Amino acid sequence: MRLTFSKLDTYSKCPLRFRIRYQERLPEAPRGRLNLSLILHQTLESFLYNARRDSSLETLLRAYENRCGPPQTPTQEMRFEEGRRALETFHWREGHRLATAVALEQRFTVRTESLEVTGRLDCALETEAGLELIDFKFTSQLPEDPDPLQLQLYAWGLQEVTGSTPDTLTYYYLRQEQRVSFPGGEAAIQEGKREAVRVAEYLQGDYSFFPKAGPWCFTCSYHRYCPKQRERPDPIPQLMVQPRLPL
What average pLDDT does the segment 52-79 reach? 90
Backbone angles phi, psi at 24, to 5 degrees: -85, -15
Report the C-alpha gap between 52 and 91 in whole angstroms: 14
In whole angstroms, what separates CA 171 from the centre of its chain? 10
Which residue in 147, 153, 114 sits closest to 133, CA to CA?
153
pLDDT digits (tens, 9 = 90+) for 198-212: 999 999 999 899 999
Residue 237 DSSP one-character state:
P
Report residue 109's pLDDT band, with 50, 70 and 90 as the boundaries.
very high
Question: For position 245, what pLDDT does the model report?
Answer: 44
Is 43 within 8 Å of 64 (Cβ atoms)?
Answer: yes
The string of pLDDT tens digits covering residues 20-62 is: 999 999 988 766 545 888 899 999 999 998 888 999 999 999 9
* pLDDT for residue 246: 46
Q: C-alpha angle 89/180/85, rounded to 5°?
A: 15
